[in-house]
Structure 1
Amino acid sequence: MTVSPIPRMVWILGFVSLLMDVSSEMVNTLLPLFLASGLGASALVIGFIEGLAVAVATVTKALSGVLADWSGRAKPLAVLGYGLGALSRLIFPLAMSLDQVVLAKAMDRVGKGIRSAPRDAMVATATPAAIRGAAFGLRKSLDSLGGFLGPLLAIAAMLVFAGDIRMVFWLAALPAAFAIFLLIFRVKEPVAAQAGKGSGFRFRDALRLTAPVRGVIALAGLIMLARFSEAFLLLKALEAGFSPVWVPLIIVALHAVYALAAWPVGIFSDRLAASGKDPVQVPLMIGLGLLAGAHLVLGSAQSAPVFLAGVALWGLHMGFSQGLLGAMIAATAPPALRGSAFGAFNLASGAVMLIGNTAAGWAWVSWGSAAPFLIGAGISVLAMGLVALRPRNAPQNP
């Protein structure tokens, strides 16, 4: 069987994600330090800003997917979302007060929320069903590569600019600007995506997603509940003996493993489908097993080597799950409702992450640092059982 090459549009959208993630991580890596040392913000204020950002992005992700289906045009929403993110980069280096940082952070998260569902809908529309796993895996790999490069560039820029955080923020605007250029001038609206306008789409249709789509969203929610924020990894790194100076490199290592795994896992999934097997059951069970292992290793980590082994397992889990979940939404959602399906998927994931992070923090404070990891391992095993019992997907949508 001849395997179709991944469409050029998917590659370009992947590089757009890579560049914007480089820009985001250059800012986010240094923003807590900037808030605390430059603007005198307390830990409570920093936590509020991060929580507000998650909440804003979660709501806008759902709305943008519905708008993409209603209009039949995903690219303008993607441009708007990436454009807001790029514009926020010009506010960070100029910020002289907390409210200006809150404005920039909110603008960035609104942009992320707006662009996520339309971008994924474009990837789904532009990609043949036979290589959808590889396409979503590639986009996730490139996005994670941005998360790998961003902190490294931030550290290098801090050395070059003698610790001037504002200069690093200015530098972060460059990859964001190039991402907008690629999106506007090198990405065309997929022809099939334009079919929604005037095709009888009603806003209430977005609330009537099919049972398979709801099943994928429910499964994704359980996985997100088991995998809480990476902030807990950074806190655990301090317990394992890492100096605060080197803690940001934990995220670099995590994204490196994630980036290396996501695309090959997508290809593996497509090959399973081509041979008549369930394309997601085995990879997802492997991924959840890796997550359970990561939790157990991290929960008991008291040294740097053991902790790094847990981080590597966590990154592998990301590679075995994130791209596949996107491909599952694309396979089960009706073409006219793909934007709404991705929006609902992102909304549910964000809401569960908020709940899971709060619960993990409470468990950490109440029972010790090992508690959230042990609970996460248990939820991972439960999710493995559900995946094992899950009926095979219906035939994929074209």
Structure 2
Amino acid sequence: MTFLNDMKAGLSRNVTFLGVVSGLTDISSEMLYPIVPVFLTAVLGAPMQLVGLIEGVAEATASFVKILGGRLSDKAGRRKPFVVAGYSLSAISKPLLALAATWHFVLFSRFIDRVGKGLRTSARDALIAGSVEKEHWGKAFGFHRAMDTLGAALGPLAALALLSSMPAEKPDFRFIFLLAFIPALLGVGVLLYFVKEAAAVPKAPGAADAPREPMTADFKTFTALYAIFALGNSSDVFLILKARSMGFTLTHVILAYTGYNLIYAFLASPTGWLSDKLGKIKTMTFGFFIFAAVYTGFALADKTWMIWALFALYGFYGAFNEGITTAVVAHLSSAGNRASAMGYFQGALGFLTFAASAAAGLLWDKVSPAAPFIAGAVCALCSMLALAVWARSKKLAF
């Protein structure tokens, strides 16, 4: 009972309901993620290079707007308006897809969706940090990632269920786009009525004309050392391609990826709690070790059972890393520049992921399918060692 009470401590009203909002929004988004490429090519007749262009523009937009949104949130000293605007834009983008007659409209819809994601992310993470004591940040961000990932697991399953009820030769994608609006709209409703603005960011007299609070040297060092890992952390598409090359059907791939998301969702809160007890850098770098083991496994795997096991183990990496990393950024920033720090960090990761994925594609084609996984494992181990040495030298209290 003590453990359960300890797990509940720090999960404030805002943290809980922001998790619900994120879960509902991810159900909506992930319902469409595997369907949109098929809709583009099979229904609208778009070539494959346009599919890549649309996703590239969408993700680059999100990365840029995360930086801009964080700075605007800090300048305004407000969080909730940016979070509401961001989730609302993403919700509106879903039914817009149902109206698409050409690929240009799909690009517009994806652009609106990613602007929404970029606008809300930095302010939302700063709102979470401002809604709970810092000794519970690991648990709070872990809980949020758990809810977000649970939605990511349920979304594709909902899409599969809907597709299985439709004629295989002519599925009604536009109907699914309209249905996806429902959980997104519910998420916005929960956000409006149950999430409150955190205490206002303190401003000194004349703060409107005051210079922005700079990022700390520790934040810059952490971001640079984490970037070593990010340069090897390519898109999960390459894990899926490896599974497909081993003979996985599309259904098997979706089930394996859903299994990864469910394990991640189940473990994210306990590992966040553990990071509050043992130290966030220590816990996060253990996640890098798991990542290196998983990527080495994908490089060497030659049997299908290995792929199932590796996807499951990959869920442990997510739980030990992603929410905890956000908590570290919260520690390395202040109330006055926290949203900006979140935006700079997450925006940089978005651009680095794009670079890592481009490099992984070249390694896959020009060297071998194992090469991107070996490169990713090496980058993870180098970043793990560098961060461990840095944290030890700085004697960080978190």
Q: Which residue of 2 aligns with 1:379?
A: 379
Is the 1:219–1:383 contact (alpha carbons within 8 Å) kept by the matching residues of 2? yes
- Evaluate the alpha carbon distance shift between residue 188 and residue 242 of structure 1 in structure 2; reply closer, same or farther with a 3 A threshold: same
Aligned alpha-carbon RMSD (Å): 1.8
Counterpart-to-counterpart distance in 1, 2:204 and 2:77: 5
Secondary structure at the residue paired with 1:311? helix
1:93 aligns with 2:98: yes
Q: Which residue of 2 aligns with 1:140?
A: 145
After TM superposition, give the deviation of residue 203 of structure 1 in Å.
8.0
Is the 1:269–1:280 contact (alpha carbons within 8 Å) kept by the matching residues of 2? yes
Q: Which residue of 1 aligns with 2:174?
A: 166
| TM-score, structure 2 as length reference | 0.93
Counterpart-to-counterpart distance in 1, 2:288 and 2:209: 37
Counterpart-to-counterpart distance in 2, 1:357 and 1:219: 19
Secondary structure at the residue paired with 2:321? helix
Is the 1:29–1:248 contact (alpha carbons within 8 Å) kept by the matching residues of 2? no
Q: Which residue of 1 aligns with 2:24?
A: 19
After TM superposition, give the deviation of residue 250 of structure 1 in Å.
3.0
Secondary structure at the residue paired with 2:235? coil
After TM superposition, give the deviation of residue 346 of structure 1 in Å.
1.0
Q: Which residue of 1 aligns with 2:188?
A: 180
Q: Which residue of 1 aligns with 2:241?
A: 235
Q: Which residue of 2 aligns with 1:189?
A: 197
Counterpart-to-counterpart distance in 2, 1:156 and 1:260: 23
Counterpart-to-counterpart distance in 1, 2:382 and 2:72: 35
After TM superposition, give the deviation of residue 220 of structure 1 in Å.
2.9
Q: Which residue of 2 aligns with 1:390?
A: 390
After TM superposition, give the deviation of residue 217 of structure 1 in Å.
1.9
Is the 1:144–1:255 contact (alpha carbons within 8 Å) kept by the matching residues of 2? yes
Is the 2:232–2:356 contact (alpha carbons within 8 Å) kept by the matching residues of 1? yes
Q: Which residue of 1 aligns with 2:359?
A: 359
Q: Which residue of 1 aligns with 2:114?
A: 109
Secondary structure at the residue paired with 1:356? helix
Counterpart-to-counterpart distance in 2, 1:169 and 1:369: 35
Counterpart-to-counterpart distance in 1, 2:276 and 2:52: 40
Is the 1:14–1:139 contact (alpha carbons within 8 Å) kept by the matching residues of 2? yes
After TM superposition, give the deviation of residue 283 of structure 1 in Å.
1.2
After TM superposition, give the deviation of residue 246 of structure 1 in Å.
3.2
Q: Which residue of 1 aligns with 2:229?
A: 223
After TM superposition, give the deviation of residue 197 of structure 1 in Å.
8.6
One-letter identity of the residue aligned with 2:172: D
Q: After the TM superposition, which segments of 4 or more aligned residues of structure 1 sit over 6 Å from their partners?
A: none
One-letter identity of the residue aligned with 1:81: G
After TM superposition, give the deviation of residue 216 of structure 1 in Å.
2.5
| TM-score, structure 1 as length reference | 0.93
Q: Which residue of 2 aligns with 1:37?
A: 42
Q: Which moved more, 1:53-62 or 1:379-388?
A: 379-388
Is the 2:226–2:387 contact (alpha carbons within 8 Å) kept by the matching residues of 1? no
Q: Which residue of 2 aligns with 1:276?
A: none
Counterpart-to-counterpart distance in 2, 1:79 and 1:182: 10
1:71-130 deviation digits (Å, cap 9, x = unpaired): 011100111100100000111111111000000000000000000000000000011011
1:233-290 deviation digits (Å, cap 9, x = unpaired): 1111111110134323332122112112211111001122xxxxxx123312321111
One-letter identity of the residue aligned with 1:384: M
Q: Please, which runs of 5 or more residues in structure 2 have no aligned partner?
A: none
Is the 1:61–1:346 contact (alpha carbons within 8 Å) kept by the matching residues of 2? yes
Q: How does 1:264-283 map to 2 (within 5 A)?
A: 264-272=270-278, 279-283=279-283
Q: Which moved more, 1:295-304 or 1:80-89?
A: 295-304
Q: Which residue of 2 aligns with 1:255?
A: 261
Q: Please, which runs of 5 or more residues in structure 1 have no aligned partner?
A: 273-278
After TM superposition, give the deviation of residue 219 of structure 1 in Å.
3.0
Q: Which residue of 2 aligns with 1:320?
A: 320
1:317-367 deviation digits (Å, cap 9, x = unpaired): 111010111000111101110011101111111111111111111101101
1:209 aligns with 2:201: no
